[in-house]
């Protein structure tokens, strides 16, 4: 069995990937724009070519499209096909830091340049992990409209029959100024996975999620959680969104009913969070707006 130091050495050996870049082009096609609008329960037929899209929508474009033969047993592309070959089998989104300078336009092509910023091994309470940090730069019409730095956590598989380890629940704040209650239905999560070209089996295959990765049910997609939470915040103000930081702290499961909550906009800042049916905090977001 590999020792902790051997594991750390194997991750640090991937340092040559740091600084590497890849580019994905996207037409921001009207068909996809309308699918996203419909998935978010907005009128898809109101959006016309050239319209400015909501500022947080850029994260649902620019899919990494790979051959079917490059897909691994978990539904992700095999290690090394798109992302560095980190020697741990499970990958989950954890945090995100976004700066917004403009917006995509419906039907106007754009590019995403992704850079590997860091690959960091750790020995955590839940076992061996590696943190992959990526930075996306989104450009359209010769202008950078957003930078998006994300953290993905790679983890070990649980032993057969063992449950996936999660952080202890922390009570969510109870002083919300506003709240939206949303049920994360199978159809909603499936449609989000479809528009983002995400085939990770924990989001739709209950047997795999339970028997292989140790979850009690299929797992809510973290990208969808961030999209819904930022969308809920934007409904509370007409001010221009400048940035947001988010940290996902506890898994949510498909079929759960959760609360997307937040404070009032004060001095250009708004704090938001997600709480599950038991009142536990599942995610935190801080948004900055133009005053």
1 close to 127: Cβ distance less than 8 angstroms:
no
Q: What is the pLDDT of residue 158?
A: 85
Torsion sign, CA atoms 121, 124, 127, 129: negative
CA–CA separation, 172 vs 29, rounded Å?
A: 39
Nearby residues of 206 by Cβ (< 8 Å), 6 or more positions away = 217, 218
Q: Which residues pair with 149 in a beta bridge?
A: 97, 135
Percent of the chain with pLDDT over 70: 100
Same domain flag for 25 and 87: yes
CA–CA separation, 177 vs 230, rounded Å?
A: 15
Same domain flag for 207 and 80: no
Residue whose tokens read 């976004």:
98
Same domain flag for 58 and 195: no
Same domain flag for 37 and 114: yes
Q: What is the pLDDT of residue 161?
A: 79
Longest CA–CA separation in the chain, Å: 58
Given a cut of 80, whether residue 12 has pLDDT beyond it is: yes
Q: What is the pLDDT of residue 281?
A: 96
In the chain the beta strands, taken as DSSP E runs, fall at 21-26, 90-100, 110-124, 127-140, 143-155, 178-183, 241-248, 257-262, 269-275, 281-289
Same domain flag for 221 and 117: no
CA–CA separation, 104 vs 197, rounded Å?
A: 19
Residue 34: φ, ψ to 5° = -70, -35
3-class state of residue 176 by DSSP: coil
CATH number at residue 222: 3.10.129.10
Q: Average per-residue pLDDT in the chain? A: 95
Pick from 134, 282, 149: which is nearest to 219 by CA? 282
Q: What is the pLDDT of residue 160?
A: 80
3-class state of residue 223 by DSSP: helix
Residue where one domain finishes, among candidates 156, 175, 202: 156
Residue where one domain finishes, among candidates 121, 156, 191: 156
**Across 171-199, average pLDDT:** 96
Residue whose tokens read 């049910």:
217
Q: What is the pLDDT of residue 159?
A: 81
- Please tell me the total count of domains within the chain: 2
**Across 35-45, average pLDDT:** 97
Same domain flag for 199 and 93: no
3-class state of residue 8 by DSSP: helix
Q: What is the pLDDT of residue 104?
A: 98
**Across 143-158, average pLDDT:** 94
Same domain flag for 253 and 145: no
CA–CA separation, 282 vs 252, rounded Å?
A: 7
Q: What is the pLDDT of residues 97-142, one digit of tens each?
A: 999 999 999 999 999 999 999 999 999 877 899 999 999 999 999 9
Same domain flag for 180 and 290: yes
Same domain flag for 65 and 189: no
37-60 burial, b at 16+ Cβ within 10 Å, e below that, comes to bebbeeeeeebeeeeebbbbbbbb
Residue where one domain finishes, among candidates 106, 129, 156: 156
Q: What is the pLDDT of residues 255-267, one digit of tens each?
A: 999 999 999 999 9
Same domain flag for 182 and 134: no
Q: Which residues pair with 43 in a beta bridge?
A: none
Q: What does the block give as tokens for 238?
A: 């007409």
What domain range includes position 214?
Answer: 165-291
28 close to 108: Cβ distance less than 8 angstroms:
yes
Q: What is the pLDDT of residue 163?
A: 85
Per-residue DSSP letter, 216:
S
């Amino acid at each position: 069995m590999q020792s902790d130091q051997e594991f750390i050495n194997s991750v640090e050996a991937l340092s040559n990937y740091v600084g590497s870049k890849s580019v994905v082009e996207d037409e921001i096609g009207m068909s996809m724009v309308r699918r996203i609008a419909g998935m978010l329960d907005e009128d898809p037929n109101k959006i016309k070519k050239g319209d400015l899209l909501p500022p947080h929508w850029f994260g649902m474009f620019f899919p990494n499209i790979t051959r079917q033969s490059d897909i691994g047993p978990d539904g992700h592309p095999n290690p090394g096909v798109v992302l560095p070959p980190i020697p741990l089998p499970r990958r989950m989104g954890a945090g995100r830091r976004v700066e917004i300078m403009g917006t995509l336009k419906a039907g106007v092509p754009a590019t995403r340049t992704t850079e590997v910023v860091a690959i960091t091994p750790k020995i955590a309470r839940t076992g061996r992990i590696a943190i992959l940090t990526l930075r996306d730069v989104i450009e359209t019409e010769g202008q950078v409209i957003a930078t998006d730095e994300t953290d993905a956590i790679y983890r070990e598989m649980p032993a057969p029959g063992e449950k996936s380890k999660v952080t202890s629940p922390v009570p969510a704040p109870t002083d919300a100024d506003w709240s939206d209650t949303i049920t994360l239905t199978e159809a909603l999560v499936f449609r989000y996975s479809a528009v983002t070209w995400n085939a990770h089996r924990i989001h739709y295959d209950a047997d795999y999620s339970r028997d292989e990765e140790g979850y009690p049910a299929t797992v809510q997609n973290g990208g969808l959680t961030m999209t819904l939470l930022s969308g809920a915040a934007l409904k509370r103000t007409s001010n221009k969104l400048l940035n947001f930081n988010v940290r996902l702290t506890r898994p949510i499961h498909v079929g759960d009913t959760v609360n997307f909550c937040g404070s009032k906009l004060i001095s250009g800042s708004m704090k938001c969070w997600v709480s599950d049916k038991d009142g536990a905090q599942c995610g935190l977001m801080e948004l900055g707006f133009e005053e």
